[in-house]
Amino acid sequence: MKKFSIALAATTTLLAANSYAADTTSTLDAVKERGYVNCVIGNSFPGFYSLNKAGEWQGMDIDMCRGVASAVFGDATKVKFLPVQWAQSFTSIKSGKGDILSKGMTWTLSRDAAQGLDFLDTYFYDGQGFMVRKDLGVKSVKELKGATVCVLTGTSSELNIADYSRANNLDIKTVVFDDSSVRNTAFFNNNCDALTNDKSGLAAQRSAAQNPDDYIILPETISKEALSFAVKQNDSEWANVVKWSFAAMVAAEEFGVNSQNVEKMRAESQSPVVRRLLGVEGDLNTGLGLPQDWAYQVIKNVGNYGEVYERNVGTNSVLGLDREGTLNALWTNGGMMYAKSFR
């Protein structure tokens, strides 16, 4: 009986050890072995993630994931996009189904501390607003007393509107939806007085309306929404790859490197910072477990932060968002986009 107990204990210990090993397998190793990155996104958010007429994903979040694929494989196409409903966002990463969560997700304390995720960097600074029909005659959120407002359930928007209504005694009645497309349809069919979302989202939804000029976005911004990407908690090796892939885009813009001149800059630049960034000298890649030219590949294949911003959400895009004077400008232009040092 004693021998059986010892054997059982040994087996239990071995199983526990194997389970621990499986749980702590590096995501970077798994991605390399698989041959592509799994990127968790939403169903449709023009400017951030949406399908074009050719059936290809495009948008700011899409480019963030393509940047990581470029860093790891030198190929921006080595990524699979996994669109999920809002409720499945966190579990998709915790379960290991996805490697990166990049879907316009706001970085909050509760999500960071209680959802099994590590939020890394903010790639877009936003704020929550309201959209209404022009014929409603409303010019301010303060005039929405007793109004019905369409909102996506489980989001920070739902919590923010409850706080704002209570603080301003507006008695706003929320109509909640699980699916953003159903929410948008309800609003455009006049089933709600207003639609609330991040202002970039409102701009996207307005642009997709049958008659965009029939709608206005009210001037107030009622919250801070730091749209950030996240990875599974306690996997610092993979987290480093993701956050420095993004940092390479921001640093490239700061130092005047873009997808059009990166070859020339790599061959001719005498700037020590640029040479380290592009892998001409130094060994910044070794700690990341990436090829020496990883940042060069990100910039060549995807572009710097400014290029990503302009083609997806900038003034000449479907959203038409002017970056100048906003928090999304480089820190050298008064914004918050700031890459840590490449040394």
Q: What is the pTM of this model?
A: 0.85
Contacts of 92 (CB under 8 A, 6+ apart): 40, 82, 84, 98, 101
How many helices and strands, by DSSP H and E, does the chain display?
Answer: 13, 12
d(CA 115, CA 119): 10
Confidence of residue 22 (pLDDT cuts 50, 70, 90): very low
Contacts of 221 (CB under 8 A, 6+ apart): 127, 128, 129, 199
Confidence of residue 23 (pLDDT cuts 50, 70, 90): low
Confidence of residue 19 (pLDDT cuts 50, 70, 90): very low
Give domain status of residue 58, yes or no.
yes
Check residues 45 and 175 and name the one with the higher pLDDT: 175
d(CA 216, CA 214): 7
| One domain, residues 67 and 210 | no
At residue 24, φ and ψ (nearest 5 deg) are -105, 10
With a cut of 90, say whether residue 59 has pLDDT above it.
yes
Mean pLDDT of the chain: 91
Give tens-digit pLDDT for 83-101: 998 888 999 999 999 999 9
CATH no. for residue 156?
3.40.190.10
Q: By the 8 A CB rule, do 41 and 177 touch?
A: no
- Please give the residue range of the domain that contains residue 162: 128-223
| One domain, residues 113 and 230 | yes
pLDDT of residue 25: 74
| One domain, residues 246 and 218 | no
d(CA 158, CA 144): 16
Confidence of residue 24 (pLDDT cuts 50, 70, 90): low
With a cut of 90, say whether residue 150 has pLDDT above it.
yes
High-pLDDT (> 70) share of the chain, %? 93
Give domain status of residue 196, yes or no.
yes
Structural domain tally of the chain?
2
Give domain status of residue 191, yes or no.
yes
Three-state secondary-structure class, residue 207? helix
pLDDT of residue 45: 86
Give the closest residue to 106 by CA, choosing from 274, 233, 235, 227. Answer: 227
Helix axes 236-254, 27-34, angle to 10 degrees: 80
